[in-house]
Amino acid sequence: MTLTIRPAAPSDLPTIMQFIRDLAAYEKLSHAVRFTEDILGDNLFGTRPMAEVLIGEVSGAPQGFALFFHNFSTFEGRPGIYLEDLFVRPEARGAGLGKALLVELARLAVERRCARLEWAVLDWNAPSIGFYKALGAHPMDEWTVMRVDGEALSGLAGM
């Protein structure tokens, strides 16, 4: 069994879309998936990509992905990497692919002179929380994530 981590290419878009749908189902959030192939493709591979994707393969077959983008720490004066989604197909879990994806993200963060690598995890996802802690991650319990979307976002924008 060989693990490979590689940057995604436009030809990976259908696989990425399925990974996102599978992740949403696992998180009980399938109802929240609203992207179209054109929108996602343009934002990942268009003239101004907004995010990057790593594809994790086991023996040459795509079995997981990590979707990430740069954020910025004003206190550090440097960028960071924000991991939006990490998913490994159930049949490939335990092979080390999740860790390999995070190791590659950490390598990219160091190579790009980022101050940190961070992500959010659902409170109920104890297996993932334990996995992340075992890798050295720590929860930011003193922070609350805030969000404005949908009609509230349009209203705030005055539209």
- Confidence band of 118 (pLDDT split at 50, 70, 90): very high
pTM of the model: 0.93
pLDDT band of residue 119 (cuts 50, 70, 90) is very high
pLDDT, mean of residues 129-137: 93
Residue identified by tokens 């995010």 is: 51
Mean pLDDT of 10-31: 96
Q: Which CATH number belongs to the domain containing residue 49 in this structure?
A: 3.40.630.30
Q: CB-based contacts of 95: which residues, under 8 Å, 6+ apart?
A: 1, 3, 58, 63
Domain that holds residue 135: 3-156
Window from 9-13, 71-75, 109-113, 141-145 with minimum mean pLDDT: 141-145
Cα separation, 111 vs 118, in Å, equals 16
Number of domains in the chain: 1
Both tokens of 123, joined, read 């409170």
Residue 159, pLDDT above cutoff 90: no
The 3-state DSSP composition of the chain as helix, strand, coil percent (nearest 5) reads 40, 25, 35
Among 48, 132, 136, 151, the active-site one is 132
What is the dihedral sign for C-alpha 31, 96, 45, 50?
positive
Q: Is 26 a catalytic residue?
A: no
Q: What is the mean pLDDT of residues 80-99?
A: 95
